[in-house]
Amino acid sequence: MMARKKRSSGGSLARYKILIYIILALFGYFVYRCGGSAQADVAKIDKLEIPAAVQGGSHRLIAREGYTLLYNTERLIPDWVAYELTALETEGDEPRGEHFKKDPEILGLQAENDDYRNSGWDKGHMAPAADMKWSESAMDDCFYLTNICPQDHKLNTGTWKKLEEQCREYARYFGNLYIVCGPIVENNRYGTIGDNGVMVPDGFFKVLLAPYYGKYVGVGFLFENKKGGKKLVEHAVTVDEVERVTGLDFFPSLPDDVEKAVESAIDKSAWKL
């Protein structure tokens, strides 16, 4: 009787290692795409992205499906635009809008397309179209000129765009991301454009907040209204620093001790900076 050939234990071990590797790889991909573990044990706070809003006078608060903004009816640009971006929303397939238009919510003076024509400045989105692909109405709303600022072309298509793309990666990683952005007006060095006198910002800010392993982490970015540096880390600052420059109060719904910790330091490992 012929003896049965002995199985190779080395082959079984190799197959076992490959199976474990596949399982770990799939788990890592799931975590990166869904942010499941990164947002664990963090209590949901409604409208967490909304800064402390000054209303009345020249400030008009407008809430839309995809974002909320505070519009300045004297400067004819937003004071800030805020929204939450989830991992699921980054997967939308709504086509990009094509037409910038006046905002029906503003009955008085506001920016118009003619103000930007031949001005030398781009129509820079604050809430970008690529973040609104999850909804037809959200996409349509982001082309209102109340969501737009005069922006340097090289900044708009360069580092600012790079940060917008990075925010979508952050939303996929953390599961959800709270974003506030807008213009910085200090010396008004660039004046205004158009017959309506749309103010050209001196720079721009963006602050981000995300759940991360049972806590919140925050980071800010500051840009001059000109071509930015090649690396985002060159523009990264604490949220406290953005508050100092803008005079805004971000994430006021957080408990005071949490807000202080989030805004005073940058967790560079969380933000991959």
Which two tokens mark 135? 């909804």
Is 125 part of the annotated catalytic residue set?
yes
In a domain, 163, yes or no: yes
Find the catalytic residue in 59, 99, 125, 235: 125
In a domain, 4, yes or no: no
Q: What's the per-residue H, E or C state across 66-134?
A: CCEEEEECCCCEEEEEEEEEECHHHHCCCCCCCCCECCCCCCCCCCCHHHHCCCCCEEEECCCHHHCCC
**In 175-253, where does DSSP find H-type helix?**
239-246
**How many domains is the chain built from?**
1
* pLDDT tens-digit map of 149-176: 999 999 999 999 999 999 999 999 999 9
In a domain, 116, yes or no: yes
- Look at residue 33 in the predicted model and tell me its pLDDT: 43
* pLDDT tens-digit map of 88-141: 999 999 999 989 999 999 999 999 999 999 999 999 999 999 999 999 999 999
Computed over every residue of the chain, the mean pLDDT equals 88
192 falls in which pLDDT band (50, 70, 90)? very high
230 falls in which pLDDT band (50, 70, 90)? confident
User: Taking CA 261 as the corner, what is the angle to CA 39 and CA 253, rounded to the nearest 5 degrees?
Assistant: 70
- Look at residue 183 in the predicted model and tell me its pLDDT: 98
- Look at residue 40 in the predicted model and tell me its pLDDT: 52
- C-alpha torsion angle, residues 259, 202, 142, 144 (rounded to 10): 130
In a domain, 228, yes or no: yes
- Look at residue 179 in the predicted model and tell me its pLDDT: 98
- Look at residue 43 in the predicted model and tell me its pLDDT: 74
250 falls in which pLDDT band (50, 70, 90)? very high
In a domain, 171, yes or no: yes
In a domain, 261, yes or no: yes
In a domain, 60, yes or no: yes
The residue-averaged pLDDT of 256-260 equals 96
**In the chain, where does DSSP find H-type helix?**
9-34, 113-116, 136-141, 153-156, 159-174, 239-246, 256-264, 268-271
In Å, what is the CA distance from 51 to each residue of 54, 55, 90, 213, 266? 9, 12, 23, 24, 19
In Å, what is the CA distance from 184 to each residue of 80, 83, 200, 202, 245? 10, 18, 9, 6, 8
In a domain, 207, yes or no: yes
Please state the pTM of the whole predicted model: 0.85
Percent of the chain with pLDDT over 90: 80
Range of the domain at 180: 12-271
- Look at residue 19 in the predicted model and tell me its pLDDT: 52
Q: What is the Cα–Cα distance from 148 to 139, expressed in whole angstroms?
A: 14
* pLDDT tens-digit map of 5-45: 444 445 554 455 445 444 433 444 444 444 444 555 577 88
Which domain CATH number covers 153? 3.40.570.10
Given a cut of 60, whether residue 69 has pLDDT beyond it is: yes
